[in-house]
Structure 1
Amino acid sequence: MRAVGYQTPLPIDNPASLQDIDLPKPVPSGRDLLVEIRAVSVNPVDTKVRRSATPDVGQWRVLGWDAAGIVVGTGPEVTDFAIGDEVFYAGALDRPGTDAEFHLVDERIVGRKPRSLNWAEAAALPLTAITAWEMLFDRLDIRRPVPGVKPAVLIIGGAGGVSSIVIQLARVLTDVTVIATASRPETRDWVTSLGAHHVPASSFPRRRRIGICQRLSR
């Protein structure tokens, strides 16, 4: 199968930093799904891995986390998916990346691709959405009541990837007031359309932005 990989971390402008390669097509076992990849996305973690992770001598490292595709094979213990299912997911640290024609993934970290999204849109979501969820509910615990305080969340740069998901999750799954900053008129309109209650301009001085947010959250 075709894939994109590297053998030595090199500057990105080096022709050998990422190469088109041919690898054996993986075979599913256990609870593995063999997915024919239709779209992937690029994440900041790709650059960090490429800089720091050196494969064993003679081996290739394939990057890629987010993916969307069609199940074309299953391991003998798979129970939740079948061949032909359209799926999307973020891969695992201990497996090769998704920048390949085919990819093995444990069915327990896979979701069914929403019918309303095309392949590229579905592949853009998983890692961003997971990050937004963990930030809001695992780390910030946004639904935990704070006595005497009106619940609110301030999102700096509301038009960003993670930020835009945070806005939507907060609006749909909580009753907190969502305050999200944005700079240009078009990004302010978009952030508003995502559900933010208040959208102060990012161009305001920091002190003024903080003052606005304090007044809005009272």
Structure 2
Amino acid sequence: MKAVGYTERGLPIGDPRSLQDLELPEPPAPEGRDLLVRVQAVSVNPRDTKSRAAFDASPTEPRVLGYDASGIVEAVGPGCTLFRPGDAVYYAGVLDRPGSNAELQLVDERITGRKPATLSHAEAAALPLTTLTAWEMLFDRLEIPRGGGAGESLLMLGGAGGVPSIAIALARALTGLRIIGTASRPESAAWVRDCGAHEVVDHTQPLAAQVKPFGPVRYVFSTHTDAAAWAEIARLIAPQGRFGLIDDPEPLDLRLVKFKSVSIHWEAMFTRPMFRTADMQRQHAILTEAAELIDGGILRPAPPDNQGRITAENLRRAHAAIEAGRVRGKIVLEGF
């Protein structure tokens, strides 16, 4: 089968060997609750670039990356109950199995959702990783009540990236919170408002004074947390507020929020499948409900940037854009 991968870890993305077009054996027949999926489209995330730098590979054991995908079920394992061959699905995969940058992929049905019927495969592929990250943070970690939050605010730090974009859309669709987004450029501010933010502030300037007119900020969700941002968050977050983060900052001084009794929440979308938690199937439920919200016109995700077919050249270009911080929303690739 066709695939894109590498045989040497950590090469700069300008090196043609950093991601190469490969011909690999097809995966074995699915076992247990695995699905064998024929991949139709993928999207590229910052996680892909981190994995390219972190995961070993060799000429005899090339590494295939890719997390987000949309495709068609070709075969199901004997334990499967949620899907059958021919079903259209979308999913975000796991860190410790071959990725979605291949024509065929094995994935556990419990972390797979029904593809939104109203979206193309390319549009659907843009959603799983960011949707799961945002949904789990908002509703499982921060425990924002569905339909609640009137009179309170959510500050979403991260500009126009993939996770902030869908988090803002979810919060706007499913809560009564005032949503405050962040951006530093006019085009990014316009994007954040289009996603559903009621207000937009400049994250390159002190935040506390900018958000004060908008009332109590009970919830803060950050995708980029440095010491300066953390100091501002500690000033602006309401007593007994909730702070969530997904990035890997230098150690933060948690003492800054001790007397506000602020709770701190990490979110890693891969936790449930990596540790095969008892509630692993929650990800199937989240993706399936998100598809229903999209098909019902309640959730309107931002359109992705389709950059062509799934080739090493196009994936190198996408990785380079992410590494340079030049991406608004999500990059997708479609077809081999």
Q: TM-score, normalised by structure 1?
A: 0.86
Alignment RMSD (CA, Å): 2.3
Deviation at 1:114, TM superposition (A): 0.3
Aligned residue number for residue 210 of structure 2: 212
Deviations 1:106-161 (Å, cap 9, x if unpaired)?
111100110121111111111111121233233333349xxxx9421112345321
Contact 1:68/1:122 (8 A) holds in 2? yes
Deviation at 1:174, TM superposition (A): 2.1
Deviation at 1:186, TM superposition (A): 4.8
- Aligned partners of 1:39 and 1:137: how far apart in 2? 28
Letter in 2 for 1:5: G
CA separation of 1:185 and 1:78: change in aligned 2, threshold 3 A: same
CA separation of 1:214 and 1:143: change in aligned 2, threshold 3 A: farther
Q: How does 1:123-142 map to 2 (within 5 A)?
A: 123-142=125-144
Contact 2:180/2:198 (8 A) holds in 1? yes
Aligned residue number for residue 4 of structure 1: 4
Aligned residue number for residue 198 of structure 1: 199
Deviation at 1:95, TM superposition (A): 1.0
- Aligned partners of 2:134 and 2:72: how far apart in 1? 26
Structure 1 stretch 9-18 or stretch 26-35: which is displaced more?
A: 9-18
- Aligned partners of 2:74 and 2:105: how far apart in 1? 10
Structure 1 segments of 4 or more deviating over 6 A? Answer: none
Letter in 2 for 1:215: P
Structure with larger Rg: 1
- Aligned partners of 2:62 and 2:94: how far apart in 1? 17
Aligned residue number for residue 50 of structure 2: 48
Q: TM-score, normalised by structure 2?
A: 0.58
Contact 2:3/2:64 (8 A) holds in 1? yes
Letter in 2 for 1:130: L
CA separation of 1:44 and 1:190: change in aligned 2, threshold 3 A: closer
Letter in 2 for 1:141: E
Q: Which structure 2 residue ranges, 5 or more long, are not aligned?
A: 217-336
- Aligned partners of 2:192 and 2:15: how far apart in 1? 38
CA separation of 1:57 and 1:24: change in aligned 2, threshold 3 A: closer
Structure 1 stretch 1-10 or stretch 152-161: which is displaced more?
A: 152-161
Q: How does 1:26-65 map to 2 (within 5 A)?
A: 26=27, 27-55=29-57, 58-65=60-67
Q: Which structure 1 residue ranges, 5 or more long, are not aligned?
A: none
Structure 1 stretch 67-76 or stretch 181-190: which is displaced more?
A: 181-190
Aligned residue number for residue 68 of structure 1: 70
One of 82, 92, 95 as aligned partner of 1:93 = 95
Higher RCO (CA 8 Å, separation ≥ 6 residues): 2
Q: What SS class does the counterpart of residue 41 from structure 1 fall into?
A: strand
Deviation at 1:185, TM superposition (A): 4.7
- Aligned partners of 2:107 and 2:158: how far apart in 1? 33
Letter in 2 for 1:7: T
Contact 2:69/2:91 (8 A) holds in 1? yes
Instruction: Give the % identical residues.
Output: 56
Deviation at 1:184, TM superposition (A): 4.7
Contact 1:158/1:167 (8 A) holds in 2? no
One of 115, 118, 121 as aligned partner of 1:119 = 121
Aligned residue number for residue 178 of structure 2: 177
Contact 2:159/2:184 (8 A) holds in 1? no
Aligned residues: 211
Contact 2:8/2:58 (8 A) holds in 1? no
Contact 1:2/1:23 (8 A) holds in 2? yes
- Aligned partners of 2:36 and 2:123: how far apart in 1? 21
CA separation of 1:57 and 1:101: change in aligned 2, threshold 3 A: closer
